[in-house]
């Protein structure tokens, strides 16, 4: 019988509006937030943002200041006058004067580009908690994944247990196990692991191999006799129930 991931979701998907006129940056934000468990709508202009904020109930807005039509600060003030939705300003403007002006205009938080997926997730979750919303993310969402009957991966507490005994995993080992557990039964390429687990454009194959070997040892298996973690030669890794 094919293995399945059994998950328990305890939170509702936050409804998030992304306001950014750069199509590449906008697409990256949308992709990241959807992976983090958000229902996302994206717009490119201040007027569209104001319309979207007035038309639906939102949990969060990520707002870029460099927008066409209206000055970003003026647009932020209009948005704040129209809605009490929590707003994170997401911008390349790092000067303190911009930060202070954004908070004065109604921002709840301020994050400077470029930033990592993990950094964004932490800031988003913190703001959702402060505002009384319940954060949901791929790595911090009160979700428990079971791989077979004996391997349990708790994404919220970042802990794993094998046959009831806790596994002593490094941060990267847990990240690797957790990501593979969310893709259980699917071959994950090395390129995807580099982007999603290491969050870098390039990582040496020896680095992935080393962490895979350490994780295998803690799962009580070897490359020649795998139980959970299987190498697909020339492609990547697959996590399955034994």
Backbone φ and ψ of 25, nearest 5°: -65, -40
Place of tokens 């229902």: 39
Which residues, in sequence order, are bridge partners of residue 89? 63, 110
Q: Which structural domains are found in the chain, ordered by start? A: 15-130 (3.40.50.2300), 144-239 (1.10.10.10)
By the 8 A CB rule, do 152 and 161 touch? yes
Taking the CB of residue 70, how many other CB atoms lie within 10 A of it? Answer: 16
CA of 225: how far to CAs of 54, 219, 221, 222, in Å? 58, 12, 6, 5
What is the number of alpha carbons within 13 Å of residue 4 lying toward its C-beta? Answer: 3
Between CA 16 and CA 143 the distance in angstroms is 20
Whole-number pLDDT of residue 11: 40
Given a cut of 70, the residues of the chain with pLDDT beneath it are 1-12, 55-56, 133-142
Whole-number pLDDT of residue 145: 85
DSSP 140: S
Among 100, 95, 96, 125, smallest CA distance to 16 is for 125
SS3 189: strand
By the 8 A CB rule, do 202 and 194 touch? yes
Whole-number pLDDT of residue 167: 95
Backbone φ and ψ of 238, nearest 5°: -140, 135
SS3 19: strand
């Amino acid at each position: 019988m094919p293995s399945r991931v059994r998950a328990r979701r305890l939170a509702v998907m936050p409804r998030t509006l992304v306001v950014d006129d750069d199509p590449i940056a906008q697409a990256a934000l949308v992709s990241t937030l959807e992976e983090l468990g958000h229902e996302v709508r994206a717009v490119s202009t201040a007027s569209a943002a104001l319309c979207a904020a007035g038309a639906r109930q939102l949990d969060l807005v990520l707002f870029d200041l460099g927008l066409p039509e209206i000055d970003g600060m003026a647009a932020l003030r209009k948005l704040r006058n129209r809605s009490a939705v929590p707003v994170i300003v997401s911008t390349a403007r790092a000067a303190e004067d911009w930060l202070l002006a954004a908070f004065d205009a109604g921002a709840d938080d301020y994050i400077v580009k470029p930033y990592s997926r993990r950094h964004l997730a932490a800031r988003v979750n913190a703001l959702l908690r402060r505002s009384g919303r319940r954060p949901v993310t791929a790595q911090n969402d009160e979700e428990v994944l079971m791989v077979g009957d004996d391997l349990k991966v708790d994404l919220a507490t970042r802990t794993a247990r094998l046959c009831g005994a806790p596994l002593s995993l490094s941060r990267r080992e847990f990240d690797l196990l957790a990501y593979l557990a969310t893709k259980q039964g699917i071959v994950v390429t090395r390129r995807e692991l580099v982007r999603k687990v290491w969050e870098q454009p390039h990582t040496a194959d020896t680095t992935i191999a080393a962490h895979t070997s350490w994780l295998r040892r803690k799962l009580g298996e070897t490359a020649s006799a795998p139980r959970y973690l299987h190498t697909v030669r020339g492609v990547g890794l697959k996590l399955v129930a034994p």
